């Protein structure tokens, strides 16, 4: 209820509490639940996107795979060059697997600033 206290403190000159004072805890709880759900969906989607990347990765090849090469600043011969090798693929998979676990771990523990913690707009 810190949000309610801040609103009351900001209206200290008036004698009656704000009209929306009673609905603040419910609105904050709904926004927090929406932020958690949004973070869970995004983290799960991130993991699901890496599964085809993992299944399409050829572990027998030693070179870079899924290579992107684009001219960035052609005048100076500067290119955007990105690829994935074996150890990078493991790190991508590890990161995408741990992210939903972190969101789940913080589901009930984090009670204040839920949107900021889960990276969601609330």
Which of the pair, 118 or 42, is modelled with greater confidence?
A: 42
Residue with tokens 């913080």: 106
**Roughly how many angstroms between the first and final C-alpha of the chain, as a whole number?**
17
Whole-model pTM: value is: 0.62
Measure the CA–CA gap between 43 and 76, rounded to whole angstroms. Answer: 38
Q: 118 with 38: CB under 8 angstroms?
A: yes
Residues 54-93 pLDDT 10s: 999 999 988 999 999 999 999 999 999 999 999 999 999 9
Q: Among the listed ranges 8-12, 40-44, 72-76, 81-85, which one has the minimum average pLDDT value?
A: 8-12
pLDDT at res. 2: 41
Helix (H) or strand (E) holding 115, with range, is: helix 114-117
Q: Which residue has the higher pLDDT, 41 or 29?
A: 41
**Average pLDDT score over the chain:** 76
């Amino acid at each position: 209820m810190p949000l309610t206290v801040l609103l009351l403190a900001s209206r200290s000159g008036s004698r009656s509490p704000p009209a929306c004072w009673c609905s603040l805890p419910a609105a904050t709880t709904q926004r927090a639940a929406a932020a958690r759900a949004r973070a869970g969906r995004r983290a799960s989607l991130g993991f699901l996107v890496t599964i085809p990347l993992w299944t399409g990765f050829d572990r027998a090849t030693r070179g870079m795979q899924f290579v992107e090469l684009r001219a960035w600043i052609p005048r100076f011969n500067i290119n955007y060059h990105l690829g994935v090798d074996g150890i990078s693929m493991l790190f991508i998979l590890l990161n995408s697997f741990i992210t939903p676990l972190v969101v789940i771990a913080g589901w009930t523990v984090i009670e204040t600033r839920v949107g900021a913690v889960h990276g969601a707009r609330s």
